[in-house]
């Protein structure tokens, strides 16, 4: 079979002939792969830089963690791979697949899944979002941030505040559920002032953060209290595009009712992961099929994997490999 194979970390994946994977037990199933999204998570895993990754073996391995597949009977499913997914065939876990609804394209399903995991899991389980909450999405102009804005509104947020560097993408979010937009310009003062003003007008209940780094420092400092009663704020770290470390004042933690947590592999319970496949993903796939959850993707071919691996996709779109 043809596949995208990584031989050494730091190198580009190669489009080569590779041995077809074999299901090892009755919980595994061989599938025909149709579409796979390329995400920062996949690149980090392949390069050995993501905290859950190990380096590729010298003999090489197929990359890609999840995608849209066909079962032997023609049923179309989203599945998480046991073997690498950027290949004509892959082995997936029967307990980690979801049947896809009619009307949902392969590209949209492949692009959407990881973003749902990166937003719905944080909102539902880590932030415990409640109807009427005010939610701020930091880094909302990225693909997952765009999905998070829409899901926060779907989950009942009374107000969604979106921050990001791309001004045009921020404006577009106003039609997808954002009620207020705050640009990240690199100038700390206006960003901090606008967050403080918004928080004073209507207290923020939830912050979902995809950037970390300097903007996270500013957001947390904007919440600092002065000894009076404060509302409980749930700050959830999901990504670190702005840097892996921050400086956090101890007074910041003591002066406000703040819950600081993260959402990612290792932070969820088995029950929560089970609900992802039985409830959350099916619900979000159906919303997308009904046109109520909107994303944009760019489709490319597996044969071009080496040239497109480091391609930067702008304006909150996602690269999807059609196979």
42: Cβ contacts below 8 Å, ≥ 6 apart: 63, 64, 65
What domains, with CATH codes, occur in the chain? 2-99+295-322 (3.90.180.10), 115-262 (3.40.50.720)
The yes-or-no verdict on residue 56 having pLDDT over 70 is no
Q: What is the pLDDT of residue 52?
A: 58
The yes-or-no verdict on residue 42 having pLDDT over 90 is no
The yes-or-no verdict on residue 55 having pLDDT over 80 is no
Per-residue pLDDT of 120-138, as tens digits, reads 999 999 999 999 999 999 9
d(CA 111, CA 285): 11
CA distances from 219 to 163, 164, 237, 238, 245 (A): 11, 13, 12, 15, 14
Written as one string, the DSSP assignment of 248-312 is --HHHHHSS-EEEEE-STTSS-HHHHHHIIIIIHHHHHHHHHTTSS---EEEEEGGGHHHHTTPP
d(CA 90, CA 39): 18
* Alpha carbons within 13 A on the beta-carbon side of 242: 20
DSSP-assigned letter for residue 87: B
Q: What percent of the chain has pLDDT over 90?
A: 85
Q: What is the pLDDT of residue 226?
A: 80
Helix, strand, coil shares, percent, the chain, to 5: 30, 25, 40
Q: What is the pLDDT of residue 313?
A: 86
Q: What's the whole-number average pLDDT of the chain?
A: 93
Per-residue pLDDT of 94-127, as tens digits, reads 999 999 999 999 999 999 999 999 999 999 999 9
Q: Is the Cβ–Cβ distance between 237 and 144 less than 8 Å? A: no
CA distances from 74 to 100, 164, 320 (A): 12, 41, 21
Nearest CA to 112 among 294, 263, 254?
294
List beta partners, residue 79: 67, 97
Nearest CA to 264 among 314, 303, 208, 224?
208
d(CA 7, CA 306): 12
The yes-or-no verdict on residue 291 having pLDDT over 70 is yes
CA distances from 138 to 78, 142, 183, 210, 216 (A): 28, 10, 10, 6, 8
Per-residue pLDDT of 158-182, as tens digits, reads 999 999 999 999 999 999 999 999 9
306: Cβ contacts below 8 Å, ≥ 6 apart: 12, 13, 14, 15
The stretches of the chain forming alpha helices (DSSP H) are: 40-47, 106-121, 143-154, 167-173, 188-201, 213-222, 250-254, 270-275, 281-289, 305-308
Cα torsion 211, 196, 123, 174: sign: negative
């Amino acid at each position: 079979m043809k596949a995208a194979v990584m031989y050494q970390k730091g190198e580009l994946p190669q489009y080569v002939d590779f041995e077809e994977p074999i299901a090892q037990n009755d919980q595994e199933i061989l599938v025909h792969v149709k579409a796979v999204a390329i995400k920062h998570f996949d690149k980090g895993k392949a390069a050995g830089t993501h905290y859950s990754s190990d380096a590729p073996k010298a003999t090489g391995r197929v990359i890609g963690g999840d995608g849209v597949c066909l079962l032997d009977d023609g049923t179309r499913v989203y599945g998480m791979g046991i073997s690498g997914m950027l290949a004509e065939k892959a082995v997936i876990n029967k307990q980690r697949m979801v049947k896809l609804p009619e009307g949902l394209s392969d590209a949209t399903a492949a692009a959407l899944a990881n973003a749902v995991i990166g937003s719905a899991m944080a909102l539902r389980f880590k932030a415990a979002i409640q109807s009427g909450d005010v939610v701020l999405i930091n880094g909302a102009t990225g693909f997952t941030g765009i999905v998070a804005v829409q899901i926060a509104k779907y989950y009942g947020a009374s107000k969604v505040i979106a921050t990001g560097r791309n001004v045009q993408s921020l404006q577009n979010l106003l039609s997808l559920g954002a009620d207020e937009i705050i640009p990240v310009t690199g100038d700390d003062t206006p960003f901090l002032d606008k967050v403080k003003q918004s928080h004073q007008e209507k207290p923020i209940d939830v912050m979902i953060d995809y950037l970390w780094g300097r903007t996270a420092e500013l957001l947390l400092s904007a919440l600092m209290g002065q000894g009076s009663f404060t509302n409980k704020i749930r700050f959830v770290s999901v990504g670190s595009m702005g840097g892996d470390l921050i400086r956090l004042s101890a007074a910041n933690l003591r002066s406000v009712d703040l819950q600081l947590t993260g959402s990612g592999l290792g932070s969820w319970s088995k029950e929560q992961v089970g609900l992802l496949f039985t409830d959350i993903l099916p619900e979000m796939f159906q919303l997308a099929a009904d046109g109520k959850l909107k994303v944009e993707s760019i489709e490319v071919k597996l044969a071009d994997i080496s040239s497109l691996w480091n391609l930067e996709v702008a304006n909150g779109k996602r690269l999807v490999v059609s196979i």
